[in-house]
Amino acid sequence: MSVTIKDLKVINTAPEGINLTVVKLITSEPGLYGYGDATFAYRYKAVTSYLLDYLKPLLIGRDVADIQELWSLMHQNAYWRDGGVENNAIAGVDLALWDIKGKMASMPVYQLLGGAVRKGVPVYRHVDGASVEEICEQISYYRELGVRHLRVQSGGYGGGLDLKAPGSAPEGAYPGIYLNSREYIRKTVKLFEELRAKLGFEIDLVHDVHERISPAEALELARALEPYRLFFLEDPLPVNQVEYFAQLRMLTSTPLAEGELFNNEAMFRTLIVRRLIDFIRVHITQLGGITPAKKLAIFAEQFGVRTAWHGPGDMSPVGHAANIHLDLSSVNFGVQEWSGIEPPNFVIQKLNEKKGALLEVFPGMPEFRRGYVYANDKPGLGIEVNEQEALKYPNHDEVTTWTQTRGQDGALVLP
């Protein structure tokens, strides 16, 4: 007798102050359920509605064994496809189905994906500071923990303007995060020059442009950073300007990573086939879950392109665990972004209590030890959710402000 989907629940919680959305699929088999990540932190109510009003009626009574069938059904059922709301909702169900599959097989998910090709997953952590000295202090801390890859920013993503300074922005300019791309490029190049002078080349450094500069400026930055041997330069171009990667590839040796905002595998196809990038920076729930992500990883492998799955704070531990299971089973793994679940974040010590709360809500998180993350080898994704603890941390509805970024003239730019 087949095991079917009996119910679908949505758990919204924010133990770190970041909205998280988790799907719980309950099956017809008593005690058998699965968890999946459907987090879209800035539109969580839309994802919740999509799951409960549209996917739940579609899925009740369906066989949990049919992961590919159900993914395709969810993907095409609305006729118009892709986008942050739909794909994250689908991903929540998809991850829960893989979690259930692993529990039914008494195996961790990475075994179902072909088995482990490595024992631990090397990760990179984030450092950010107002000075080289502050950044070096953080780097020293992480090196003591065994981390060998670090993403380095200074003041977040790009420059910053004092709106009160004369001539800094037009009169009456709207509030927001104001950027000066020319100043950002100058300061970034100088930062990496000073870091390499102090640290040498024993540690791999990453930098995230976050799509905030023009294609010509991206080329200028990538070339200027060549002497400092970055592990990769992330998202130098926005989604609608990816044709410029052909010029970037021809004119710079800096390794390139792209794709945090991509919604489907097709958006990567040309970049991978033409070998215009070195790493795919996929947010796997934005792509639709493990099912499409594993296919994309195998496709990229054929062209020498490596994975570097997105692993930010606005992803639940269920999503982080899914990343690790993909990492363990992918031949073309590159590095894994790790947002600081363990140990506590060095920069913002006030978050320590919240990190503890996150682990109370989501027991079973893969563990960080000496620069590597290890799966716990429990069946499925290995994560549980303490639903009573989750209720203590309700989601919030404030208007998102960090995406209200503007250029020096006050016009909106991509965040």
Q: What residues act catalytically?
A: 157, 210
Q: Please, are residues 188 and 154 in contact by the beta-carbon 8 Å criterion? A: yes
Q: For the chain, how big is the Rg over CA atoms in Å?
A: 21
Contact 38, 88 (CB under 8 A): yes
Helix, strand, coil percent content, the chain, rounded in steps of 5 = 40, 15, 45
Contact of 4 with 62, CB cutoff 8 Å: yes
212 burial level (CB within 10 Å; 0-12, 13-18, 19+): buried
Calculate helix-pair angle for 84-105, 317-329, nearest 10 degrees. Answer: 70
User: Could you say which DSSP state residue 52 is in?
Assistant: I
**Which distant-in-sequence residues (6+ apart) come within 8 Å of 226 by Cβ?**
252, 253, 254
Give how far Cα 340 sits from Cα of 142, 206, 273, 356, Å. 11, 16, 33, 12
CA distance 251 to 246: 9
Q: From 41, 71, 45, select the one nearest 319 (Cα to Cα).
A: 41
Pairwise CA distance, residues 314 & 125, whole Å: 15
β strands within 77-182, DSSP E:
121-128, 149-153, 177-178
Q: Are 337 and 308 in contact (CB under 8 A)?
A: yes
Provide the CA 114 distance to its chain's centre, in angstroms. Answer: 23
d(CA 279, CA 234): 9
